[in-house]
Amino acid sequence: MTKSTANGQSKRGAVLALVEEKYRKPAKELKPFEIGDQVEVHQRIQEGSKERIQIFSGTVIARRGSGTREYFTVRRIVQGEGVERKFPLHSPKLARIVVKRSGRVRRAKLYYLRDRVGKATRLREGRKVIVEVLGDEGAKSTKAKQS
Amino acid sequence: MTLGLLGRKMGMTQIYDDKGLAVPVTILELGPCTVLQVRTKERDGYEALQLGFADKPRRLAIRAERGHVARIESKRNKARQAGGATLEPKANCEPKRYIREFRLAEPASQKVGENLTVNLFENVAAVDVIGTTKGRGTTGVMKRHNFGGLGASHGVKRHHRAAGSQSGHATDRGNSGKKKKGKRMAGRYGNERVTVKNLKVVKVDPENNLLLVRGAVPGFSTNFLMVRPTNKRRKTIIYQSAPSKKAKK
């Protein structure tokens, strides 16, 4: 197979990227959050005609996939029970992601946290500079609540 | 009996609709397709358009393929012209890799050499996609015909994926013990022509010759496909961002 214009094989990746581009969030919004970070995920929930924001906070233990299909997993302990939620990174339903604390970790998937209880689930503090707010929409209202 | 287009599967991905829900889509590169021949009732016995998609290097095309899309000097042509015969019109384009016909109910309004683009699907709500499925080689009955197989335990030994009994002493073919004709068994699976009907059109992108449909289409990525507006009515439209189906009617 050659690179001729009629041949789709060489263009396939480019076409996928082209289609997905419109549905992706800008890279600068997403760059700073990493595996091991303590985050708050602000999710838009539709209730009838009203929309409200629900917050899920926990540790990012995995990022998976590429393009618009990328998602990340957040783990937290609720009443002694481990709860994990997966969020599509580029979903418009994700209002914003706030990094509360950065963790220093040595692997890309923190599945070992599932076997740990209590104090052992803590991660060492990581980067000193934390970009706190990712995503712009709904930023004002939540900021007010925090302060 | 509707005109469609030829194209190829580019792969699947996921996009978000205006409600923020993820939609699984297949990206199809459709056209531009060149009209290579117009079939008419008088000459061929049926109305149809023959389309070609994707250029083939001339060095790889045989003389017949080159002569099909453009006029080639030949003694026979010269003799026919000298004899007063009118030669068939040619599209005057590069040889094509994928050539198919679309049967039509009415005589075609298009001429040989015309280019058709994905604009054809501008007001279409749903399409049928025809393609060749992935060849799976020799497979057992569980994969090929969705048989249940035998038990995993309770004394079943070495027959877990077996087809089971094929016939008895008294079947429809007399007391012969012969199997019924068409008994489903293991064998070659895949690599066959399949039509997937009623796939919703999510987006038409004339600029890049792309059509996005909801759901999967047959075959591997870069597989050649025929796509036509569906003749089925969509019963429930889950969400609609393209022009409504009323426009289609």
pLDDT for A29-64, tens place per residue? 665 688 888 899 999 988 888 889 999 999 999 999
Percent of chain A residues topping a pLDDT of 70: 74
Nearest residue in A to B56, CA atom: A6
Alpha carbon separation from B215 to A74, B105, B144 (Å, rounded): 29, 29, 22
Percent of chain A residues topping a pLDDT of 90: 24
* B208 interfacial to chain A (CB closer than 8 Å): yes
Residue among A4, A19, A92 minimizing CB distance to B57: A4
Chain B nearest-CA distance from A57, in A, is 21
Considering only CA atoms, which of A144, A141, A146, A147 is closest in space to residue A53? Answer: A141
Task: Say if CB A134 and CB A72 are below 8 A apart.
Answer: no
Q: Is B93 helix (H, G, I), strand (E, B) or coil?
A: coil
Determine the Cα–Cα distance for residues B245 and B249; give it in Å rounded to an integer: 7
Residue A8 reports pLDDT greater than 60: no
Question: Over the stretch B49-71, which tens digit does the pLDDT of each residue have?
Answer: 999 999 999 999 999 999 999 99
pLDDT of residue A116: 85
Exposure class string for B161-183: b at 16+ Cβ within 10 A, else e: eebeeeeeeeeeeeeeeeeeeee
- Looking at the DSSP assignment, which residues form a beta bridge with residue A113? none
Task: Say if CB B224 and CB B6 are below 8 A apart.
Answer: yes
Alpha carbon separation from B21 to A12, B16, B29, B150 (Å, rounded): 25, 5, 24, 41
Rg of the Cα atoms in chain B: 24
pLDDT of residue A5: 47
Nearest residue in B to A95, CA atom: B20
Q: How many residues does chain B have?
A: 249
Please state, rounded to an integer, the average pLDDT across all residues of chain A: 77
CB atoms within 10 A of CB B191: 12
The sign one gets for the Cα dihedral A29, A33, A38, A41 is positive
Q: Cis bond leading into B57, ω under 30°?
A: no
Q: Is A88 helix (H, G, I), strand (E, B) or coil?
A: strand
Task: Say if CB A39 and CB A139 are below 8 A apart.
Answer: no
The sign one gets for the Cα dihedral B155, B159, B165, B169 is negative
Task: Say if CB A94 and CB A43 are below 8 A apart.
Answer: yes
pLDDT of residue B86: 83
Task: Say if CB B54 and CB B97 are below 8 A apart.
Answer: yes
Residue among A8, A9, A16 minimizing CB distance to B13: A16
**ipTM, 2 dp:** 0.72
Task: Say if CB A135 and CB A94 are below 8 A apart.
Answer: yes
pLDDT of residue A6: 47
- Looking at the DSSP assignment, which residues form a beta bridge with residue B35? B51
**Burial (CB count within 10 angstroms: exposed 0-12, middle 13-18, buried 19+), residue B30:** buried
Write out the H or E segment, with its range, that includes residue B82.
helix B75-82
pTM exceeds cut of 0.90 = no
Query: Which residues of chain A have a CB within 8 Å of the CB of B54?
Result: 6-8
Determine the Cα–Cα distance for residues B93 and B15; give it in Å rounded to an integer: 36
Q: Which residues contact B20 (CB under 8 A, 6 or more apart)?
A: A44, A91, A92, A93
Determine the Cα–Cα distance for residues B60 and B69; give it in Å rounded to an integer: 14
